[in-house]
């Protein structure tokens, strides 16, 4: 047993961060190996490993076998943001969520959508649009394409009460996806739906999800003016 107090991996992580912050370990410098640090902190190497892995995940150090661990020269900050179901997001603000279905059709998607779905020309897709409301006010316009061949159950789904956004999250587990954020101006149709002025700046997200390298669905969400996404660093 050890004489001193037990040290946690969080404690080691904090100490490592402190040494980086104070330039005791300057950018680009190689820091001691796990074994050395384990001796210094009087703990097992696994504990040091856990701590350094966390620091590496945050991007502040880079680790490579044989080369050791180095303080990053150009730390890439990583922000993690939660993307909740829209209903949850609205209810978390204490508002009531409703979804109003606008369009539901089976059609061949335009090339841009087909590319995102990784689909082949001629394949039928389900095209659904609708409006998410917060306490009766427009919150976001959802424009979604679903590959029916990949998700046959979608054909029978009732999107009049449950938005595609929520239905898919609950029914279709996916493996991967990507999301992008941008700003666009509201055109006349969008302005009418979102009850905003034409030309207003809208926050827009586009998401695609897939499973087994097969595109499942792609969606464009246009949020009413004033929407803002937050994330920690």
Q: To 10 degrees, what angle do helices 9-21 and 34-41 make?
A: 110
Region from 98-106, 131-139, 151-159, 180-188 binding its own copies, contact rule CB under 8 A: 180-188
Mapped onto helix, strand or coil, the DSSP state of residue 233 is coil
Which CB atom, from 7 or from 101, has the smaller least distance to DNA?
7
Q: Which of 181, 178, 180 is nearest to 210 (CA)?
A: 178
Q: Which of 3, 5, 67, 79 touches its own copies (CB under 8 A)?
A: 79
Q: Any contact of residue 92 with its own copies (CB under 8 A)? A: no
Which CB atom, from 50 or from 207, has the smaller least distance to DNA?
50
Q: Any contact of residue 21 with its own copies (CB under 8 A)? A: yes
Q: Which does 112 bind (CB under 5 to 8 A by kind): DNA, its own copies, none?
A: none
Tokens in use for 205?
């997200």
Q: Any contact of residue 81 with its own copies (CB under 8 A)? A: yes
- From residue 49, how far is each of 15, 20, 181 by CA, in Å? 14, 17, 35
Tokens in use for 113?
């959508």
Shortest distance, position 178 Cβ to DNA, whole Å: 24
Cβ-based neighbour number of residue 57 at 10 Å: 10
Residues 6+ apart with CB under 8 A from 110: none
Interaction site with its own copies (CB under 8 A): 17, 20-21, 27, 59, 74-85, 88, 169-170, 173, 175-185, 199-204, 207, 209, 211, 225-233
């Amino acid at each position: 047993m050890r004489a001193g107090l037990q040290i946690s991996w969080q404690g080691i992580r904090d100490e490592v961060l402190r040494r980086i912050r104070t330039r005791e370990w300057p950018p680009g410098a190689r820091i001691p190996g796990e074994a050395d640090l384990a001796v210094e902190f009087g703990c097992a190497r696994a504990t040091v490993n856990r701590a350094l892995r966390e620091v590496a995940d945050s991007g502040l150090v880079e680790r490579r076998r044989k080369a050791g661990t180095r303080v990053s020269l150009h730390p890439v900050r990583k922000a993690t943001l939660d993307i909740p179901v829209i209903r949850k997001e609205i209810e978390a603000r204490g508002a009531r969520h409703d979804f109003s279905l606008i369009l539901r059709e089976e059609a061949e998607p335009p090339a841009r959508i087909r590319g995102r779905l990784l689909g082949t020309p001629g394949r039928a897709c389900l095209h659904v649009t609708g409006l998410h409301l917060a306490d009766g006010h427009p919150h976001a316009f959802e424009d979604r394409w679903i590959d029916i061949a990949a998700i046959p159950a979608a054909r029978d789904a009732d999107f009049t009460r449950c938005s595609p956004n929520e239905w898919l999250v609950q029914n279709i587990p996916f493996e991967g996806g990507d999301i992008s954020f941008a700003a666009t101006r509201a055109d006349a149709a969008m302005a009418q739906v979102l009850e905003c002025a034409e030309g207003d700046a809208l926050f827009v997200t586009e998401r695609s999800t897939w499973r087994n390298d097969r595109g499942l669905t792609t969606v464009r969400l246009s949020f009413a003016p004033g929407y803002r996404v937050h994330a920690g660093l």
